[in-house]
Structure 1
């Protein structure tokens, strides 16, 4: 497994940075602070849970974004495949940051045995998500384009990307949730212990039920999916169109409807903390956002009846996974666990109703 470059700093260490940039023929450069979404600099002593990053201006004035492959990526081959996927998508015209080749025509720089870094063009004049309808529609439309181009990359059979089951993933997060609170059992109130146990028990039962239902319905043919589709992984232009789809660190092989479901949930049913990618709440699905995202996604292609039946199951499963992650990270109190199940069930019904109401595609 890959390891972080430096557990004590939010930036790529200068020694690693200069060594890496030489591979790109960049000897003279300026390093800028990596900024949060609110425009403030990331503190120099910030501990990054995923990967080191750096914003760089080369001697000719070009801006680049250097990124380390996150520590949680399970193998070197998977890490290489993530970068190659982004490169192939860029070649095919998908709006992703262009991966820059080294002087020896490589896609990345492999430092020591467990550090992989790669250079991307920095996307200028860009904005983060502001909950504008134009952005939501554009995100759905871009997802469809990504889906088509990713399928063509998938057919090349050149990437070592793992299979993914949304149902097994949700169960795995529940296991992590249990493990966390088993360790803290002695510190917990009895009612909180019962709340977590009841939450996990109920969620497992629901996931098994939805997985069985999904198995009885044919969805889309498996392909490469983004794996972490949410508003924070889109960059938008000043006019609301998509400038870039970013962060392919969770790319995997699955039914493309998994991405659609996660997009619908996160654009229409999740509130984020101000200037942050951290979750504030999971809410009832907002019809207007739900409709905008789906209209963008189905602008040129409609949804088959089977796909309309599968999507609510995937939305509900994604809701359980996000609710569980929120409990693990402390985004919301333990006492809210049962409330989240109610929201998930409400969204299952709402998405079923919305999909019956909305006229989609051509």
Structure 2
């Protein structure tokens, strides 16, 4: 009898994991997602600025893969019965669970953010922000991570009539090399994006934000990219989680409390062999998905799954449509001074983003993901 493999979440990680696992003749794979459309999360800042970004049905990306696709919102997981419950009351059983529910914007940690800020983590978020910007002339982006940087530069380039400001609680581009930070500054200056460093937001108001030092920063629209939250389903189900609710996994990406469960993507705490936590990005999520599919197939063949081996290559940051920054890094994600910038970097980033989407149709392309790649597993991948 075929093993029941249940994959929760059809983002970058979950969709690839489902397709690859379904290649095993002894696996019966069911994929569950709240929407029937695949969201290119790395393009949401483009959607927010009114650019034409095509959305694709998940069924189209699955192609002819032998995967049962279920549209529904997961509301609970019964770890003892090995079932997931959907909002409409359906219950789906599993022998092996792949938990890939991703993350959403954290608008609960700062007063007023949920009421007045515009997050940018879902397709609905991007559309809502786009509609808001139609009648605005000043935008403040809160959050100096890659999402905030990409959003601020995209807004400034696409809408030169907007006054764009970026607030970061540290130094702009803190994770970049000196050359990377200098290029970032040049682009921000060219686009006219104002930067406030060491700016911690205490409250979001209808007319802007209040900083911890008491300063009021006015804004017609506040874009919120400062942190993410994960669903609380893993904690509620009794799986071992960290203080943020992300599932704790072992070297093979299995739950440390429930070995029949694998977790990948933003909703898991994935680490390198030395203990370093991997960043939340499809650069890690896609190789992790391939590893989990391989590990499940090994388990079906009565073999113990091996550890997830991974190294970083670069970080790719779009800075509008005509510029970008490709920051090359060591295996542990620390920056080196070599960077790629300008139009060539923009073309490189666009190619990487397209490859992340192409990997959903052709999972063998996961080696061409943005910013990272497998190490010892590389022999199994093209290119």
Category of TM-score, reference length = shorter chain: under 0.3
User: Which structure dedicates a bigger proportion of its chain to helix?
Assistant: 1
- Please, what TM-score do these two structures have when normalized by structure 1? 0.27
- Please, what TM-score do these two structures have when normalized by structure 2? 0.26
